[in-house]
Amino acid sequence: MGLKAFFLENPVNLGVAILGLLFIGGGVVALSEEQALATMALMLIGFGLLSVLEYRRIQ
Asked if residue 52 has pLDDT above 80, the reply is yes
Mean pLDDT of 53-58: 80
What are the residue ranges spanned by the domains of the chain? 3-58
Main-chain phi, psi angles of 10, to 5 degrees: -130, 105
pLDDT mean across residues, the chain: 88
Determine the Cα–Cα distance for residues 14 and 51; give it in Å rounded to an integer. Answer: 14
Mean pLDDT of 9-13: 86
Determine the Cα–Cα distance for residues 16 and 38; give it in Å rounded to an integer. Answer: 20
CB 14 within 8 A of CB 47: no
> Which pairs from 40-46 meet CB under 8 Å and 24+ separation?
46/19, 46/20, 46/21, 46/22
- Tens digit of each residue's pLDDT (9 = 90 or more) over 15-43: 999 999 999 999 999 999 899 999 999 99
